[in-house]
Structure 1
Amino acid sequence: MRDMIARITILVALSALLAGCSLRPLYAGGTNGVVAQQLGNIEIEPIAGKAGWLTRNALKDQLEAFEGQQAKYRLIVALEDKIAGFGVRGDDRITRERRTLRARYQLVRLSDSVVMLDATAGSDAGIDVVSSEYATIAAEDTALENLSVRVANQIVTRLSLFARTEANASPES
């Protein structure tokens, strides 16, 4: 019985500590929250190339849930997409490739063209090179699709953190 009381006391104490910490949900308030409203005010510039098209669509898919009335920011993204072979057989044939997608992005305030955020995101994927050229190309394309979604996730997460920081710094809050 004494053991049970000690465990309950510890559980209550830990619960009190957790309630006192400064952790807050990033998207508190849902679509009416400060972060969601800031994200809804971002327009995405077109991004060059197939990787750009895929990444822009992934960004739009994530940001359109927060759609606002008027754009206050412009998101400019520059991508670097590379494929490098690194698994080599004795006959000098490549057996493995690494596809890397890196993004440098800037969030520009439209009212005065000030760069509010300048950051990078990136991811990579391994691809098996098989005897079928079609299968290898399909694997490279699938890797690019997955990488563009991962990079877009990183960008939206960083934009969300920026939006929360801006909301906390503004005098209206």
Structure 2
Amino acid sequence: MIRRALLALGAALALSGCGLQPMYAGGGSGAVAQGLAGIDVPAIEGRAGWLMRNALNDRLRSAGSSGVARYRLDVRLDDRLEGLGLLSDDTIGRERRTLRARYQLVDLASGEILLDATAGSDAGIDVVSSEYAAIAAENKALENLAEDVADRMITQIALQLRKGAAAAK
């Protein structure tokens, strides 16, 4: 019992010296949460853009609402659907949907680009004999990809905002 307690104490001391810090320190009033809440996402072209903008706004607004935009997030999407796996009757048996985003986080006060990055994801889709089912699967894949890419983007943006907040201290 004492051995376990000493081991746990040693692990806690080792972790405290490694420099790890919580991403959202300060909760909703922390620098990262306030930075995320201050990002405006302009309209993005197409259905994939509509889904992406909604996914981004859901994540940004969960941090709170600052009312005034401090940053703008410009996003360009590349949505591709390609057929893979030909069957013996020369029909496509599998598709791959790929969604890639190139995005820039722009400081509205200075016009400086704080982050210029890309994020992407892809999904495999089985093509079935029902055209309705195939279209529904393609649409669901796009919805899931928009959510996944939005998560990746928000993570990178939060890291950039945290780095900027640490440099400002």
TM-score when normalising by structure 2:
0.94
Per the alignment, residue 107 of structure 2 pairs with: 109
Q: Does 1:82 align with 2:80?
A: yes
CA shift, 1:122, in A, is 0.4
Structure 2 counterparts to residues 142-161 of structure 1, below 5 A? 142-161=140-159
Flag structure 2 segments of 5+ consecutive residues without an equivalent.
Answer: none
CA shift, 1:22, in A, is 1.1
Per the alignment, residue 29 of structure 1 pairs with: 26
Instruction: Read off the aligned partner of 1:20 and give its amino acid letter.
Output: G
Range that drifts further, 81-90 or 134-143: 81-90
Instruction: Read off the aligned partner of 1:155 and give its amino acid letter.
Output: M
Other structure's SS at 1:141 match: helix
Structure 2 counterparts to residues 59-70 of structure 1, below 5 A? 59-66=56-63, 67-70=65-68
Per the alignment, residue 125 of structure 1 pairs with: 123
Instruction: Read off the aligned partner of 1:10 and give its amino acid letter.
Output: L
Q: CA RMSD in A?
A: 1.2
Per the alignment, residue 42 of structure 1 pairs with: 39
CA shift, 1:6, in A, is 4.2
CA shift, 1:115, in A, is 1.2
Q: Percent identity?
A: 54
* Structure 1 counterpart of 2:134, from 132, 136, 145: 136
Structure 2 counterparts to residues 47-62 of structure 1, below 5 A? 47-62=44-59
Across the two proteins, how many residue pairs are aligned to each other?
168
Q: Structure 1, residues 89-115: CA drift from partner, whole Å, max 9, x if none?
A: 122110000000000000111123221
Which whole-Å CA distance do the structure 1 matches of 2:59 and 2:161 have between them? 15
Question: Closer, same or farther in 2 for the Cα pair 1:110/1:8, shift >3 Å?
Answer: closer
TM-score when normalising by structure 1:
0.92
Which whole-Å CA distance do the structure 1 matches of 2:32 and 2:11 have between them? 29
Flag structure 1 segments of 5+ consecutive residues without an equivalent.
Answer: none
Instruction: Read off the aligned partner of 1:84 and give its amino acid letter.
Output: E
Which whole-Å CA distance do the structure 2 matches of 1:125 and 1:98 have between them? 6
